[in-house]
């Protein structure tokens, strides 16, 4: 009987790895560097080696392994085909089939990393009490994942959950990284909030403690807002208004039981949740009001938990 499984969260710099029991207990976690040279041709070989090495170290045979789940930073279709991962140098190929071959036939399941992280929070994190949830990750960009009836909804082309590219401002002149204008990511990501702060401080000479911080970033904005700085509170309010607007759109389509907020910006904590929740309930459709908005709890481990859940 198979008693173990592996969850891998592949990023452009490192891959987080976890060894789990069949019941979801995390036994050990580690990281390995991601070799993106030569179009990322060695990535799956390297990952297969680290999995096999851990199996040998723990005296685990192939028959003991349920499978290996992996979160990929790009679109992944239901049949395991990756449709280009720019950060890895990958084109289009069946990652499940190729990775399984490197692992000697061990079962492999792959999914988009943001969707997989959402699955992790749904399984063992902040949304484990809910069968339907949407995770919103506020990091360098804005990503997300949709979970309905405990399953990932990947969409026809693996692009469901691209929450950061919901358009929330039709007058924006600056271009988002996706090529469009006015995307949620331009206002609610860590870089987006820093951009809002720089624009606001340049508008006039209003006194603000933000002018004295060592690094004008999202953390500084929320830290100073919590201390009562008027300008910082104004910037934080604007970011939260945009986020609430995005969640309101999602709620009318998905109507989840809960939104899970993760990523670096979520370290602003309850202040962020209270601001977004208040504004969400002001504009939400009556059937979607009072949707729970909670902080993610698994942190950087959400991806490996979700990858393991793919196998189960």
Q: Could you give the CA distance from residue 52 to residue 26 in angstroms, rounded to a whole number?
A: 18
User: What is the structure's pLDDT at 160?
Assistant: 86
Closest CA to 222 of 210, 232, 214, 231: 232
Cα–Cα distances in angstroms (integers) from residue 254 to residues 135, 148, 237, in the given order: 12, 8, 25
Cα–Cα distances in angstroms (integers) from residue 122 to residues 56, 96, 160, 195, 310, in the given order: 31, 23, 17, 32, 12
Q: Could you give the CA distance from residue 27 to residue 5 in angstroms, rounded to a whole number?
A: 10
Lookup result for tokens 């201390």: 227
User: What is the structure's pLDDT at 305?
Assistant: 98
Closest CA to 310 of 78, 103, 125: 78
Helix (H) or strand (E) holding 223: helix 218-226
Cα–Cα distances in angstroms (integers) from residue 176 to residues 56, 132, 164, in the given order: 46, 29, 10
User: What is the structure's pLDDT at 268?
Assistant: 97
Q: Could you give the CA distance from residue 135 to residue 305 in angstroms, rounded to a whole number?
A: 14
User: Which residues make Cβ contacts (< 8 Å) with residue 40, sequence separation at least 6?
Assistant: 34, 85, 88, 89, 90
User: What is the structure's pLDDT at 157?
Assistant: 74
In whole angstroms, how large is the CA radius of gyration of the chain? 20
What domains are defined for the chain? 4-119+301-311 (3.30.420.40), 128-296 (3.30.420.40)
Strands 65-72 and 4-10: parallel
pTM of the model as a whole: 0.89
User: What is the structure's pLDDT at 87?
Assistant: 83
User: What is the structure's pLDDT at 86?
Assistant: 80
| String of DSSP letters for 90-132 | EEEEEHHHHHHHHTTT--EEEEEHHHHHHHHHHHHSTTTT-SS
Q: Could you give the CA distance from residue 250 to residue 148 in angstroms, rounded to a whole number?
A: 13
User: Which residues make Cβ contacts (< 8 Å) with residue 41, sequence separation at least 6?
Assistant: none
Q: Residue-wise pLDDT tens for the chain (312 aa)?
A: 789 999 999 998 999 999 999 999 999 999 999 999 999 999 999 999 999 999 999 999 999 999 999 999 888 888 899 988 888 999 999 999 999 999 999 999 999 998 999 999 999 999 999 999 999 999 888 989 999 998 999 888 778 888 999 999 999 999 998 899 999 999 999 999 999 999 999 999 999 999 999 999 999 999 999 999 999 999 999 999 999 999 999 999 999 999 999 999 999 999 999 999 999 999 999 999 999 999 999 999 999 999 999 999
């Amino acid at each position: 009987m198979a008693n173990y499984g592996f969850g891998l969260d592949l990023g452009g710099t490192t891959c987080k790895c976890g060894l789990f029991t069949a019941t979801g207990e995390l036994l050990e976690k580690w990281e390995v560097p991601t070799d993106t040279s030569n179009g990322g041709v060695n990535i799956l070989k390297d990952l297969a080696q680290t999995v096999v090495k851990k199996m040998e170290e723990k005296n685990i045979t192939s028959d003991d392994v349920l499978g290996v789940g992996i979160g990929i930073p790009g679109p992944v279709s239901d049949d395991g085909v990756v449709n280009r991962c720019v950060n890895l140098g990958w084109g289009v190929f069946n990652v499940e089939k190729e990775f399984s071959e490197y692992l000697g036939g061990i079962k492999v399941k792959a999914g988009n990393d943001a969707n997989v992280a959402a699955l992790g929070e749904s399984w063992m994190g902040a949304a484990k009490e809910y069968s339907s949830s949407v995770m919103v990750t506020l990091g360098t960009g804005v990503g997300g994942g949709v979970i309905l009836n405990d399953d990932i909804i990947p969409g026809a082309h693996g692009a469901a959950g691209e929450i950061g590219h919901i358009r929330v401002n039709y007058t924006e002149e600056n271009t988002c990284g996706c090529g469009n204008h006015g995307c949620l990511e331009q206002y609610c990501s860590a870089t987006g909030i820093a951009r809002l702060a720089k624009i606001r401080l340049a508008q006039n000479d209003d006194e603000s403690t933000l002018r004295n911080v060592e690094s004008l970033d999202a953390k500084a904005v929320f830290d100073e807002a919590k201390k009562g700085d008027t300008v910082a509170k104004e910037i934080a309010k604007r970011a939260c208004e945009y986020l609430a607007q995005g969640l309101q759109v999602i709620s009318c389509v998905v109507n989840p039981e809960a939104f899970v907020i993760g990523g670096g910006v979520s370290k602003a904590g309850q202040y962020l949740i209270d601001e977004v929740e208040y504004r969400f309930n002001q504009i939400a459709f009556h059937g979607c009001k009072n949707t729970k908005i909670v902080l993610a709890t698994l942190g950087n481990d959400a991806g490996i938990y979700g990858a393991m859940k793919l196998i189960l």
